[in-house]
Structure 1
């Protein structure tokens, strides 16, 4: 598969590189502001989703609202992981990498976290849900850290699905931080503050 279009903004070698993954219909510029808020000195790597749904960019196909094409999720997660490996070489960064995703972008980041811990060990996920069934993700996630922020009234990412995701992550020995807000499918200021605190914490916390 071809590497996706992307934007790379250089940063300090002492700060983590943030992999910014937009939501449905978005693009590489969407989360640059969020990335800067979370870690002002970080390099930012922001690819574009390779799948088009009626002209809207996505990271993987879905069969209906909230119904994922799991075969495509797995294929696209591996595609994204390989892209990250390639760009590490291309741009010469070897430091800590943290994915930051919203909605569909959070779901693909979650899938890469589950399926390719050799590439991605840390992720801050906003408005995410379970990206693949437990049977698709069987390896250990010891050493992985995941932050999840979800709205209690989010019709697009139901808490029941998110809670199954959290259970799966913990069953696989990931370190999980859960943040809840009373809103819907959005990134709140409180969520950004909580994610910033989580990001600044020790990797093995």
Structure 2
């Protein structure tokens, strides 16, 4: 997979970065460095091309996902993480997953498909990625969700549904609402940084 890697400083964790539709592996690197520039970075470029734009899985229309493709691509990313962890010598179970929009949806899907794959996840403007999931146990997983009250792509009801789905299956979930649209803001990044700091200093 096309990706960017930065080695973590001594004693630090590694971010897994998944960009939004139309982004690439460098899009979220400055953001990750704003949150914790000592952390390592494994940033992946989405392998699906839609009208010239990079994505992590196929869709049939706005908000209508190809769930078979989600499951296949999630498995491929999971395998790549294992390979990269050997190549770059980091612990895959200590990754901090961070995604925006399409990338956040993929991280949410991976959590629902492979419980325990990420202990900490930051999801900016995610949606419920899968209609049905069964038998998942997310005990030990902490998730931060940021949502926009005026988001034209992700409805407030969808954001709440994802929050409830993760929480019902054992995850420790924090959701923060911002009076914004779908654009990722500095205010959201700051809030997620505070959340992550609280997670690692309790």
TM tier relative to shorter chain: over 0.9
Which residue does 2:12 correspond to in 1? 15
TM-score (structure 2 length as normaliser): 0.94
How far the C-alpha of 1:141 sits from its partner, in A, is 0.3
Q: Does structure 1 residue 122 correspond to structure 2 residue 120?
A: yes
Instruction: Count residues with an aligned counterpart.
Output: 201
Call closer, same or farther: CA 1:194–1:175 in 2, change over 3 Å. Answer: same
Q: Structure 2: which 5+ residue stretches go unaligned? A: none
Report SS of the residue matched to 2:12: coil
Which residue does 2:44 correspond to in 1? 47
Call closer, same or farther: CA 1:40–1:196 in 2, change over 3 Å. Answer: same
Call closer, same or farther: CA 1:5–1:149 in 2, change over 3 Å. Answer: same
Q: Does structure 1 residue 100 correspond to structure 2 residue 98?
A: yes
Which residue does 2:198 correspond to in 1? 201
Report SS of the residue matched to 2:9: coil
Which residue does 2:33 correspond to in 1? 36
How far the C-alpha of 1:137 sits from its partner, in A, is 4.4
Report SS of the residue matched to 2:24: coil
Q: Give the conservation status (yes or no) of the 8 Å contact 1:126–1:148.
A: yes
CA distance in 2, matches of 1:106, 1:154: 15
Q: Does structure 1 residue 152 correspond to structure 2 residue 123?
A: no
**CA RMSD after TM alignment:** 1.5
* Moved segments of 4+, more than 2 Å: 135-138, 201-205
Which residue does 1:138 correspond to in 2? 135
How far the C-alpha of 1:118 sits from its partner, in A, is 3.9
Report SS of the residue matched to 1:46: strand
Q: Give the conservation status (yes or no) of the 8 Å contact 2:14–2:42.
A: yes
Out of 158, 163, 171, the residue aligned to residue 160 of structure 2 is 163
Report SS of the residue matched to 2:167: helix
TM-score (structure 1 length as normaliser): 0.93
Q: Give the conservation status (yes or no) of the 8 Å contact 1:103–1:128.
A: yes
Q: Structure 1: which 5+ residue stretches go unaligned? A: none
Q: Give the conservation status (yes or no) of the 8 Å contact 1:51–1:60.
A: yes
